[in-house]
Structure 1
């Protein structure tokens, strides 16, 4: 290691309460080589990957219910909410990537090295609840897809989803690039399914274009506002901020100022492009719902299973329903893969507790699978949908506890040095945080008291 790199790493501990003890995800830390020479495109390809793993969380089964409900009830109107939510996500993910690259810490490690132990413990508990809730949505989504495609009872489908732990371990042992490639293949599968669905449903292009323009009715109609906040709550995922701040460190870039600046540049482009894929998929779900259910006068379709069964008669072919279920299965499996990684990052980061990857992922799966099995046995299919909605409420509750520390750290000159947020970015980031906090507080109030 050259002297400039060594000095840069030493400087990463400035402004923190304690020095960095170990890297995030040590088994894959700096495992992806970055070419020193070559074209801009070659370097960009080397950095590309983490953004797509982050984008997975923005198209998980938890998003499907809100997108389907919004499209069936209000047509294309709420497309503008999906767009705004995605722009917020792009900003926050860029900050998360920058934090990891500059400080050499993921967001969980940064919280541990800044806050007192009671605060750290509280943040860890909140984050574990959010990850368990997110994992729950993914498990239920995958189980529903298996039931729709193959007739597998929901209880057995929930249990089958536990096997994805073996896939993750196999791919991670092969190399982190294999995990990223697997994720990208599943994203392409989801995108391909919805591209075909869009063709089959023949949506109104004029309605789509006008839907991306914010309407005053979103604020004046209480039900529309409630669903809009649900879309926001289901779109911006707290665990993605922890995940992104960690996996950007899998790249073996120079730790000096120029190397970090280049890494921030490419990581931001990577996550921005990937999140536009997530925007397409979320918008496609709402457009499909609007073009089929809303147009046919079915304005109260909220259940994923009902949506699947209703698509065939409306589209005139079983292909539409099959593609819908295949995309749901790919979405659920993709999300569980990144969710288990986020669980490892959070536990190790907040508590500095090292568990074997096998044990950590088994714990994560059991936390999600046990409640899903119990509710499925007791309440059946409708119970799982209630559990899916509850998981999104828990995610909304946790979001502020991830966003506020992230903006605090990236705007701190002692911690970030020359890479701290400029004033305009700080103002924008705190505005976004304020919007998220207020809207999610409203969503929680309406859920429990409305």
Structure 2
């Protein structure tokens, strides 16, 4: 090599980026890609599930606690949010790994037991289904009352019972979008829910900015205080816990986790289409039979071949209306009897590639949404009640618990009409979004426990009618005080039902029998190592990867279940003794 060539090589080497810079650039590019991929394909389920954790029932509980104890119960809001994150992550993992939602697991586990089959069905399975339906109705009752209160606050000339009747208008949203539980994600539905969620968050942020909060004392509220051990403080803390952790969201979160949001990286890994389910005897059936989406009616091919004038003639409109009505009001089995899975041994879980593609993204989405949105909104509600009611009375506290009506009236008199209107608007968005989510959860429960498909429209009408009867009666006879009391009663019902839903969730996710995934033929040795919280790989056979809870997570789950049971027991005893 000549001297000139050596000089050129030295100059090129001196201008070449160092290795650390290249590694940093590659790492940054990889991180940006992961974040972009997560935001575009995996964001949405967490937002939908977070709606359940700041429904009108939470509003009433947070306002009551903040008005009586100031910032001291913010610690309970934080702990309740962490418990909600833990349980929702378990539900998400259950659906992602197994391909079945929580309700379907309960049916497979209890419906066809080899011994004492009828006893298991009628003493365990069907009562569990009945409790789940009670939770759905109680949830919808809270959303109905919250939305009705918001409508009456925004339009004072509307009677309260009329506001209750107007809350059924959200069924139009279900008519406008495809069924979100049909097997594939529905971005339009997720966008509608996201808009409602951010309306609540933005309105609360604006209200808090006007409320004159003592932020130093507010942040001190996230530290445990002696107010928690008092009888009234403990009762309110239990109320926050019961109102925060919602049983219907566990069913819905596990159902959405079964959906394929991104194609697995390795198509040869044995991944199967989510539109078909493997039943006993190796048969496959389309689980979308009889569950046609509303927006896909009529069939896209038929209208394309029909002249536009015939399509929009009176006859064409009538034919499409009849076909749509048949689908809306049709009740069909989601699983043929000859293809129904009798036990978990006949069920094939999702492929390892599917789990590796979806599990971490689902956990991150759920955790960020609950901690970043649900916990924040609940904390802002309690801070608002503390600043306006508790500290607004010279730090002596409010002698009577505040209701939604009290909060609106006080905000209007102290901070102005605009702030009070934002409060009512946020309450309306919260009630309507939560109500839609409750309808989908009810659909998941009925399809999972009974294998009967009912369209979201019919499901909405049935659930809403069950809630309308007591709501209209109470609103017409007892007025605002009766509606506020009924809102509290709905939260008590949810608290009682919650332990019965948490028990099978912890049991299923803690067992390798249900949470194991078969390795592909090529043998992926590092599959489990890339997933947070996954169990170990079966080293002897090398055939299955265990994604069940570790020992610590299992003990934590049973401890949380025990805390919920004891808390509900204390609340029931306190109510029975007539204490407040």
TM-score above 0.5: yes
- Is residue 435 of structure 1 aligned with residue 531 of structure 2? no
Distance 2:195 2:575 in 1: 36
- Is residue 171 of structure 1 aligned with residue 180 of structure 2? no
Q: Secondary structure at the match of 2:109?
A: coil
Check the 8 A contact 1:293/1:301 in 2, yes or no: no
Distance 2:353 2:72 in 1: 44
Match of 1:187 among 168, 192, 197: 197
- Is residue 445 of structure 1 aligned with residue 573 of structure 2? yes
Which residue of the partner structure matches residue 84 of structure 2? Answer: 89
Check the 8 A contact 1:145/1:328 in 2, yes or no: yes
Larger Rg: 2
Per the TM alignment, residue 170 of structure 1 is displaced from its structure 2 partner at its CA by 1.1
Check the 8 A contact 2:142/2:487 in 1, yes or no: yes
Distance 2:237 2:72 in 1: 10
Distance 2:483 2:77 in 1: 25
Which residue of the partner structure matches residue 361 of structure 1? Answer: 460
Q: Secondary structure at the match of 1:399?
A: helix
Q: Which runs of 5+ in 1 are unaligned?
A: 1-37
Which residue of the partner structure matches residue 70 of structure 1? Answer: 65
Which residue of the partner structure matches residue 312 of structure 2? Answer: none
Q: Secondary structure at the match of 2:177?
A: helix
Distance 1:389 1:378 in 2: 18
Residues 298-335 of structure 1 show CA distances to partners (whole Å, capped at 9, x for unaligned) of: 612421111100112232x2222111111100000010
- Is residue 122 of structure 1 aligned with residue 127 of structure 2? yes
Q: Secondary structure at the match of 2:453?
A: coil
Match of 1:279 among 375, 388, 393: 375
Which residue of the partner structure matches residue 226 of structure 2? Answer: 216
- Is residue 269 of structure 1 aligned with residue 275 of structure 2? no
Per the TM alignment, residue 260 of structure 1 is displaced from its structure 2 partner at its CA by 0.4
Distance 1:96 1:379, change over 3 A: same
Check the 8 A contact 2:51/2:434 in 1, yes or no: yes
Which residue of the partner structure matches residue 384 of structure 2? Answer: 288
Q: Secondary structure at the match of 2:67?
A: helix
Per the TM alignment, residue 258 of structure 1 is displaced from its structure 2 partner at its CA by 3.4
Q: Say which structure is richer in helix.
A: 1
Match of 2:504 among 405, 408, 433: 405
Per the TM alignment, residue 104 of structure 1 is displaced from its structure 2 partner at its CA by 1.0
Distance 2:139 2:221 in 1: 28
Which residue of the partner structure matches residue 29 of structure 1? Answer: none
Which residue of the partner structure matches residue 16 of structure 1? Answer: none
Check the 8 A contact 1:98/1:264 in 2, yes or no: yes
Q: Secondary structure at the match of 1:354?
A: strand
Residues 58-87 of structure 1 show CA distances to partners (whole Å, capped at 9, x for unaligned) of: 000001111111111111000000000000
Residues 173-199 of structure 1 show CA distances to partners (whole Å, capped at 9, x for unaligned) of: 697211111111111111101111111
- Is residue 245 of structure 1 aligned with residue 249 of structure 2? no
TM-score of the pair, normalised by structure 1: 0.89
Distance 1:373 1:149 in 2: 19
Count the aligned residue pairs: 411
- Is residue 143 of structure 1 aligned with residue 148 of structure 2? yes
Per the TM alignment, residue 171 of structure 1 is displaced from its structure 2 partner at its CA by 2.0
Which residue of the partner structure matches residue 156 of structure 1? Answer: 162
The 10-residue stretch of structure 1 (110-119 or 407-416) with the greater mean CA deviation from structure 2:
110-119
After the TM superposition, which segments of 4 or more aligned residues of structure 1 sit over 4 Å from their partners? none
Distance 1:202 1:379 in 2: 35
Q: Secondary structure at the match of 2:100?
A: coil
Q: Secondary structure at the match of 2:366?
A: helix
Per the TM alignment, residue 351 of structure 1 is displaced from its structure 2 partner at its CA by 0.9
Distance 1:63 1:448 in 2: 22
The 10-residue stretch of structure 1 (133-142 or 294-303) with the greater mean CA deviation from structure 2:
294-303
TM-score of the pair, normalised by structure 2: 0.69
Q: Secondary structure at the match of 1:296?
A: helix
- Is residue 57 of structure 1 aligned with residue 52 of structure 2? yes
Distance 1:310 1:301, change over 3 A: farther
Question: What are the within-5 Å matches in structure 2 for residues 281-430 of structure 1?
Answer: 281-297=377-393, 299=398, 300-315=400-415, 317-417=416-516, 418-430=546-558
Which residue of the partner structure matches residue 257 of structure 1? Answer: 352
Distance 1:82 1:109 in 2: 31
Q: Which gives a bigger RCO, structure 1 or 2 (Cα 8 Å, sep 6+)? A: 1
RMSD value over aligned CA atoms? 1.5
